[in-house]
Structure 1
Amino acid sequence: MYGAKATMNVWNPTVEAEGEFSLSQIWITSGSYDRNDLNSIEVGWHVSPDLYQDNKSRLFIYWTSDTYNVTGCYNLQCLGFIQTSNTIILGGTITPVSTFEGKQFEITVSVWKDQESKNWWLSLGSNHSLVGYWPGTIFPNLAYADNVQWCGEVVNSQSLGRHTTTQMGSGRFSDGGFRKVSYFRNLEIVDNNRFKSVRDVGVLVDDPKFYNIRAMFRDD
């Protein structure tokens, strides 16, 4: 695989404690945690009070080439991602956001590898407005992607077995239905330089007592 795309609705989940965050993202990886050579590209929206000193929903990118040990950063905090757009703000606030049983607001994210330059490009929107690229040279193990995930994530920093109240997505289980839950739609991957729809998607939930996911597909 040489990229991925999705449209995701944006919420403003509650984050309970210092050091915690909540996100929805496309996550493209190759390499291994065991060998400390995981290469990762992550793009989506998140709420991260530690990073921004507020509780707003924001567009973000992240990358690493050594399993989060030394290399990589959010947005433009270090050398790596080269921004070409002068209108899109990485780390910028996304507003408005979706409301429970109300209007849904979405972002469409695309990441793909240019086969000539070997760089990994990022665009936003259905019209593929270019944001910038990660030079292929910073990813020694990302000749192609071993794994693509469309996922939500929270950090649980609580102790003594108590689970954080930090919300994922809308903060509600997936059986709530449209206008009530967080979702990804129009999932695509890049193969042979073309985006194509994905139907065979595995489902993984780390803690089903607090979060869940449901795969649903339509033919239209």
Structure 2
Amino acid sequence: MPKSLKMGNTNTTRNVNGFKGVWQMWHEKGEVCPKGTVPIRRSTVDDVLRAKSLYDFGKKRSRSVPLAGRRRADTPDFVSGNGHEHAIAYTTSSGDVYGAKATINVWDPAVEVASEFSLSRFGFCPVPLMALTSTALKLAGRLVRRCIGDSRPRLFTYWTSDAYQSTGCYNLLCSGFIQTNSRIAIGAAISPVSSDGGNQYDITILLWKDPKLGNWWMGFGDNTLVGYWPKELFTHLADRATMVEWGGEIVNSRPNNEHTSTQMGSGRFAEDGFGRASYFRNLEIVDADNSLGSAKDITTLAENTNCYNIMGYYNNEWGTHFYYGGPGKNPLCP
């Protein structure tokens, strides 16, 4: 792990200055996995039916809208297609990246229809994006309302090595991510969640490259390693990343230029602040020396700030952080 971290306890529950850690719902029944095994969420017939075919079961649907001409050359390689909207922060310095860490506020946003989702995510891009290559990669710890078929926020992972074209997979639904931890279930529901003006709950995610073996690891909570993506999955990211992005994403499936009421984050705009708006705090980067440091030189971006927005800040306690989100459809976002 990065030099400043040590292996920790998986339990992240805490109450410090009004925010708390969270856990997974399956632990409420006292369930544990036998030694030498890992928890795997059971796939159901409904899971397969929600996919358009057995071939792409567990895979992310590719985006057919070209990126060129729809964004500045120095912005992340995700904007914009198939109704995806974002409010994100991303690194703008030219330094190499060997990992990143963030603490993510957990909410249960309203989603208008089953074909839409709302998620919080962070991940990496491995090449200079002005090249417009098709090798963008995200290793993501995310809260999602998709693929599972219910409305609970869940921790999930995703990888791709060719910008969603033919490779990649969610969770453990196909090969890629190798889980090593017996206490964290990828795809399991997270509980409890934050409430407006009430207790605030969050999770901490670390994505980090092992400098010895070259695999990319995911950590959860108090520095507990969950599993890894083998270096053989990737080309450019086998060496390092060049950009980190954090933030929210929704899908708007409404026709005729009408906007969805699917919420991002808490459903409130960034300016509502702590206890109302959702946040990412303590954004950190792992450098070539395998050391964690506060993320510097980040830029924020949202396609339609009348629907969802983002505001970045820095202080001694939360380091680099931001609030983000929004309600979607409203008088200024019809």
Classify the TM-score, shorter chain.
Answer: over 0.9
- Secondary structure of the 2:120 match is strand
In the other structure, the counterpart of 2:308 is: 211
Distance between the aligned counterparts of 1:136 and 1:39, measured in 2?
12
Pairing 1:22-171 to 2, within 5 Å after superposition: 22-31=118-127, 34-48=132-146, 51-125=147-221, 127-142=222-237, 143-171=239-267
Q: Which segment is superposed worse, 161-170 or 29-38?
A: 29-38
Larger Rg: 2
> Is 1:27–1:151's contact at 8 Å kept on the other side of the alignment?
no
Instruction: Write the letter of the residue equivalent to 1:131.
Output: V
Instruction: Write the letter of the residue equivalent to 1:44.
Output: R
Q: Write out per-residue CA displacement over residues 178-202 of structure 1, whole angstroms, 9 at most, x where no aligned residue.
A: 1101100001000021111113211
- Secondary structure of the 1:203 match is strand
- Secondary structure of the 1:40 match is coil
Distance between the aligned counterparts of 2:118 and 2:98, measured in 1?
26
Distance between the aligned counterparts of 1:19 and 1:66, measured in 2?
24
Structure 1 consecutive aligned stretches of length 4 or more whose deviation exceeds 6 Å: none
Q: Which segment is superposed worse, 36-45 or 160-169?
A: 36-45
- Secondary structure of the 1:137 match is helix
> Is 1:110–1:124's contact at 8 Å kept on the other side of the alignment?
yes
How far residue 17 of structure 1 moved from its aligned partner, in angstroms, is 1.6
Unaligned runs of 5+ in 2: 1-96, 318-334
Higher relative contact order (CA 8 A, sep 6+): 1
Q: Write out per-residue CA displacement over residues 16-62 of structure 1, whole angstroms, 9 at most, x where no aligned residue.
A: 123211111112121468432222211121222xx111100000111
Distance between the aligned counterparts of 2:190 and 2:223, measured in 1?
18
How far residue 146 of structure 1 moved from its aligned partner, in angstroms, is 1.6
Instruction: Write the letter of the residue equivalent to 1:103.
Output: N
- Secondary structure of the 1:204 match is strand
In the other structure, the counterpart of 1:17 is: 113
Distance between the aligned counterparts of 1:19 and 1:70, measured in 2?
22
Instruction: Write the letter of the residue equivalent to 1:6.
Output: A
Find out whether 1:196 has 2:301 as its counterpart: no
Distance between the aligned counterparts of 2:242 and 2:254, measured in 1?
32
In the other structure, the counterpart of 1:180 is: 276
Q: Given the two structures, how large is their TM-score scaled by the length of structure 1?
A: 0.95
Sequence identity percentage: 47
Q: Write out per-residue CA displacement over residues 77-123 of structure 1, whole angstroms, 9 at most, x where no aligned residue.
A: 11000000011000000000000000001000000001110000011
In the other structure, the counterpart of 2:3 is: none
Q: CA RMSD in A?
A: 1.2
How many aligned positions are there? 217
Distance between the aligned counterparts of 1:37 and 1:216, measured in 2?
31
- Secondary structure of the 2:271 match is helix
